[in-house]
């Protein structure tokens, strides 16, 4: 089984999150891998509709919003635990709009089914803007019963639930029964998946960290291998495909 994050792992980080896409090479590799592996699943903070639009491969599975949403066939659905937070997320999105955050040049607000992400990659001073946004967003998250989590030049408000990428990996593994699992990711939320692999008994597991200057080294403490950026992840996928072909 192959598990993959999307942004920063198989798709390059871009100024406008809506313009993120796979290279033709990565798309071709995923197409080949999905035919020779038991399962390929993309586990991302994105909505699954977005993921399906960028990875138009029937054999690939999608889990979105860090485990709160999945896509079955042509339809996406929230898990019941996340449904109860929809109204709170809508109120939080409205509050962010009234807070003045959108008045900061370069700030982008991305509402999603089970989260809302505030991007500040494009501002003139990301460090000071990130701290300013944290002071603005934390009271909103607390009032609505949400968590405020840091990402790569973004803050995300999400449901306060004990569901993460590690739980997703366990759930998918239980459903499919793989003999081995490879997982690749680049950000703090992927650390839960790396840690989960360490606790899986009777399985061969490989945790692959995708490094960047924006993510601290401690995120990758449970990784078995490290690669540099999307280019390194692409090379790792090509090597995995070679292993599959020669098996």
Per-residue pLDDT tens over the stretch 153-199:
999 999 999 899 999 999 999 999 999 999 999 999 999 999 999 99
Provide, rounded to the nearest whole percent, the portion of the chain with pLDDT above 90. 94
Q: What is the mean pLDDT of residues 128-147?
A: 97
Residues paired with residue 60 on neighbouring β-strands, in sequence order: 40
Question: Going by CATH, does the domain composed of 82-159 fall within 3.30.70.1020?
Answer: yes
Token pair for 101: 């955050």
pLDDT at 39 over 90: yes
Q: How far apart are CA 70 and CA 229, in angstroms?
A: 26
pLDDT at 84 over 90: yes
Q: What are the Cα distances from residue 95, in Å, to 131, 140, 152? A: 18, 7, 22
For residue 82, the model assigns a pLDDT of 94
Q: What is the mean pLDDT of residues 204-212?
A: 97
pLDDT tens sequence across 214-241: 999 999 999 999 999 999 999 999 999 9
| CB-CB neighbours of 204 under 10 Å | 11
Q: How far apart are CA 69 and CA 78, in angstroms?
A: 4
Q: State the pTM of this model.
A: 0.92
Question: Going by CATH, does the domain composed of 2-78+163-246 fall within 3.40.50.300?
Answer: no
Residue 229 main-chain phi, psi, to 5 deg: 65, -170
What is residue 57's DSSP assignment? Answer: -
The radius of gyration computed from the CA coordinates of the chain, to the nearest angstrom, equals 18
Indicate if the alpha-carbon torsion angle 212, 216, 217, 222 is positive or negative: negative
Token pair for 84: 């109860």
Q: How far apart are CA 193 and CA 101, in angstroms?
A: 32
Residues paired with residue 208 on neighbouring β-strands, in sequence order: 184, 225
User: Where in the chain are the domains?
Assistant: 2-78+163-246, 82-159
Mark whether 187 is an active-site residue: no
For residue 247, the model assigns a pLDDT of 78
Torsion of CA 117, 123, 129, 133, to 10 degrees: -20
Choose between 74 and 182: higher pLDDT.
182
For residue 73, the model assigns a pLDDT of 80
For residue 100, the model assigns a pLDDT of 87
What is residue 212's DSSP assignment? Answer: -
For residue 107, the model assigns a pLDDT of 96
């Amino acid at each position: 089984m192959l598990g993959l994050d999307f942004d920063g792992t198989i798709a390059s980080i871009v100024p406008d999150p809506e313009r993120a896409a796979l290279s033709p090479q990565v798309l071709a590799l995923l197409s080949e891998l999905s035919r020779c592996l038991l399962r390929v699943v993309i586990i991302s903070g994105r909505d699954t509709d977005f993921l399906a639009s960028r990875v138009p491969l029937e054999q690939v599975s999608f889990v979105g919003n860090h485990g709160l949403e999945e896509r079955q066939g042509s339809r996406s659905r929230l898990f019941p635990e996340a449904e109860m937070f929809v109204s709170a997320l809508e109120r939080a999105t409205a509050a962010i709009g009234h807070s003045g955050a959108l008045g900061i040049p370069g700030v982008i607000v991305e509402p999603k089914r089970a989260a809302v992400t505030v991007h500040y990659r494009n501002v003139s001073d990301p460090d000071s803007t990130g701290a300013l946004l944290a002071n603005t967003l934390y009271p909103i998250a607390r009032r609505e019963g949400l968590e405020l989590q840091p990402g790569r030049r973004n803050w995300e408000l999400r449901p306060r639930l004990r569901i993460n990428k590690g739980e997703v990996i366990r759930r998918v593994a239980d459903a499919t029964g793989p003999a081995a699992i490879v997982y690749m990711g680049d950000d703090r939320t992927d650390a839960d998946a790396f840690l989960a692999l360490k606790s899986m008994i009777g399985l061969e597991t490989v945790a692959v960290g995708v490094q960047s200057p924006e993510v601290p080294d401690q995120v990758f403490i449970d990784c078995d291998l490290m690669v540099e950026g999307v280019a390194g992840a692409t090379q790792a996928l090509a090597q995995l495909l070679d292993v599959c072909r020669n098996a």
